């Protein structure tokens, strides 16, 4: 059975989400004001979220942020403080302020499932409502999806490069405090096994992990004393940081303190490939054959791939993940593609500016499959087609007549998206796994129906 809630506070919206209507640009409201005066604000319209191209060299992207956007949509309202600001600063007319005071989204939204791969011109999300209801969401919708998608796209490349070894998200100190939570959520969708961020753990039920930093070792008179304090508190199922002074001495101190039951040691500096081999040999010589090795230190997907031959058990990733690993935004855009005129007739519209074109019409998308392998992204404009067995439809209805489908929000959405990502990435052709620059893994094919 479908779960839904009228737009307004959703019962399972994570803690920390508040009114979202002012996470927007000034001109979103002035467009509504002018459209109301022109008598066009209530014309039905369809806006589409898509990327004209992939970041340089990327073979695919990963759609993310839908759940966070839906949570925010449930809180997209204008309270007295907001309305007072708009009035005091003469942003819009009093008539529009009165309209905003009662704003509630009442349209429909279709989207790719979170965690789904996407390609150039994939209709990742389509918002169907009046022009005023839909256009006012533009900035907030883009800010959520551009960041979350950038992190998820980078994270997917990292977990793919890791080849089944664990990846830990630990980039909170390199991002805005709320972006850190969003990044941890996006990373979890793409297969990261845990995060260092407690707020992400609280809001989205993501596994949290962490032990100690170099400052803890430096607090004590010597490294062995620091290790003893940590093991006495956390037990031997912990990770000891062994590179504060000398890595070989660190390994020996760790084994002296924790013995063969020590879970992990962590290396955070030096030539990680060489050091991992050295540490593995020393651990084995000392009888700690079951002690794993975690490596950190500004890793990205290329560094992870380079460490594939090293005896590494887990990767801790921070800066490069939360900044999109060279692509800090997914460059998604939100464009009007079809609208009704004064007589209620639908008219397809598109932007024609050089280098910034869009395609008009309501879109329907499916992944063309051949023996379980994706061969094309098929996008049809016009009437909804009857897809055959060789096509997997990509869009789901996440808002129905203003009702948010709550299975796409909260912690359950993260778990659902992680499972979906794992399955759908496995459908991509082998070229998608290449980190070298190249064209998208599959083409986007447009058809009219």
> Of 266-280, 323-337, 340-354, where does mean pLDDT reach its minimum?
340-354
CB of 102 closer than 8 Å to CB of 38: no
Mean pLDDT over 332-355 rounds to: 91
- How far lies 144's CA from each of 67, 113, 331, 429, in Å? 10, 15, 12, 29
- The pLDDT confidence band at residue 352, using thresholds 50, 70 and 90, is confident
CATH of domain 162-322: 3.20.20.70
> Of 27-31, 204-208, 261-265, 339-343, where does mean pLDDT reach its minimum?
339-343
DSSP, collapsed to helix, strand or coil, labels residue 53 as coil
DSSP, collapsed to helix, strand or coil, labels residue 187 as helix
pLDDT at residue 2, rounded to an integer: 43
> How many C-beta neighbours within 10 Å does residue 413 have?
27
The model's pLDDT over 92-130, given as tens digits with 9 standing for 90+, comes to 999 999 999 999 999 999 999 999 999 999 999 999 999
**161, HSE (Cβ side, Cα atoms, 13 Å):** 23
- The pLDDT confidence band at residue 12, using thresholds 50, 70 and 90, is low
Distance of CA 289 to the CA centre of its chain: 37
CB of 144 closer than 8 Å to CB of 65: yes
The model's pLDDT over 52-108, given as tens digits with 9 standing for 90+, comes to 999 988 999 999 999 999 999 999 999 999 999 999 999 999 999 999 999 999 999
pLDDT at residue 17, rounded to an integer: 53
Q: Which helix (DSSP H) or strand (DSSP E) does residue 186 occupy?
A: helix 177-189
Structure tokens at 108: 């429909």
CATH of domain 5-151+327-442: 3.20.140.10
Every domain of the chain and the residues it spans: 5-151+327-442, 162-322
pLDDT at residue 329, rounded to an integer: 96
CB of 29 closer than 8 Å to CB of 101: no
- How far lies 117's CA from each of 64, 131, 425, 433, in Å? 9, 29, 7, 13
Judged against a pLDDT cut of 50, whether residue 15 lies above it is answered with no
Q: Secondary structure of 387-445 in the HEC alphabet?
A: CCCCEEECEEEEEECCEECHHHCHHHHHHHHHHHHHHHHHCCCHHHHCCCCCCCCCCEE
- The pLDDT confidence band at residue 440, using thresholds 50, 70 and 90, is very high
Mean pLDDT over 280-297 rounds to: 98
- Percentage of the residues of the chain whose pLDDT score is greater than 90: 92
- Who's near 262: CB < 8 A, 6+ residues apart? 236, 238, 240, 254, 255, 288, 291
Dihedral over Cα of 427, 431, 434, 439: its sign: negative
Mean pLDDT over 169-180 rounds to: 96
pLDDT at residue 1, rounded to an integer: 36
pLDDT at residue 353, rounded to an integer: 78
DSSP, collapsed to helix, strand or coil, labels residue 95 as helix
pLDDT at residue 7, rounded to an integer: 54
> Of 10-14, 47-51, 162-166, where does mean pLDDT reach its minimum?
10-14
> Of 11-20, 293-302, 330-339, 346-355, where does mean pLDDT reach its minimum?
11-20
pLDDT at residue 357, rounded to an integer: 76
pLDDT at residue 57, rounded to an integer: 86
Angle at CA of residue 271, ends 269 and 273, nearest 5°: 115
The model's pLDDT over 365-399, given as tens digits with 9 standing for 90+, comes to 999 999 999 999 999 999 999 999 999 999 999 99
pLDDT at residue 133, rounded to an integer: 98
Distance of CA 162 to the CA centre of its chain: 18
- Please state, rounded to an integer, the average pLDDT across all residues of the chain: 95
């Amino acid at each position: 059975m479908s779960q839904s809630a009228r737009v307004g506070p959703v019962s399972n919206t994570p803690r920390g989400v508040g009114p979202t209507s002012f996470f927007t640009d000034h001109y979103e409201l002035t467009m509504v004001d002018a459209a109301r005066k022109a008598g066009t604000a209530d014309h039905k319209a369809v806006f589409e979220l898509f990327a004209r191209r992939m970041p340089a060299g990327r073979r695919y992207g990963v759609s993310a942020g839908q759940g966070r956007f839906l949570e925010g949509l449930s809180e997209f309202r204008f309270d007295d403080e907001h309305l007072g600001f708009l009035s005091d600063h003469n942003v819009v007319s009093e008539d529009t302020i009165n309209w905003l005071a009662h704003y509630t989204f009442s349209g429909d939204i279709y989207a790719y499932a979170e965690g789904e791969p996407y390609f150039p011109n994939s209709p990742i999300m389509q918002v169907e409502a009046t022009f005023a209801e839909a256009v006012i969401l533009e900035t907030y919708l883009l800010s959520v999806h551009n960041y979350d998608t950038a992190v998820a796209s980078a994270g997917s490349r990292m977990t793919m490069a890791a080849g089944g070894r664990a990846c830990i998200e630990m980039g909170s100190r390199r991002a805005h405090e709320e972006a850190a939570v969003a990044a941890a959520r996006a990373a979890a969708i793409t297969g990261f096994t845990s995060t260092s961020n407690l707020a992400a753990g609280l809001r989205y039920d993501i596994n949290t992990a962490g032990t100690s930093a170099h400052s803890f070792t430096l607090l004590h008179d010597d490294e062995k004393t620091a290790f003893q304090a940590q093991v006495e508190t956390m037990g031997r199922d912990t990770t000891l940081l062994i590179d504060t002074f000398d890595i070989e001495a660190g390994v020996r101190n760790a084994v002296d303190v924790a013995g063969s039951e020590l879970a992990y040691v962590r290396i955070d500096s030096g030539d990680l490939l060489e050091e991992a081999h050295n540490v593995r040999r020393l651990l084995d010589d000392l009888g700690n054959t079951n002690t794993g090795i975690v490596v950190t230190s500004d890793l990205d997907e290329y560094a992870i791939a380079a460490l594939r031959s090293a005896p590494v058990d887990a990767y801790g990733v921070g800066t490069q993940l939360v900044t999109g690993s060279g692509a800090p935004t997914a460059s998604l855009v939100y464009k009007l593609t079809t609208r009704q005129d004064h007589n209620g007739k639908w008219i397809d519209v598109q932007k024609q500016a050089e280098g910034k074109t869009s395609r008009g019409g309501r879109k329907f998308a499916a992944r063309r499959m051949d023996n379980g392998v994706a061969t094309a992204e098929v996008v049809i404009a016009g009437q909804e087609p009857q897809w055959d067995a060789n096509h997997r439809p990509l869009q789901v209805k996440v808002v129905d007549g203003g009702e948010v489908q709550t299975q796409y929000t909260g912690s359950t959405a993260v778990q659902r998206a992680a499972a979906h990502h794992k399955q759908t990435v496995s459908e991509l052709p082998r070229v998608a796994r290449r980190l070298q620059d190249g064209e998208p893994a599959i083409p986007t094919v447009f058809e009219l129906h």
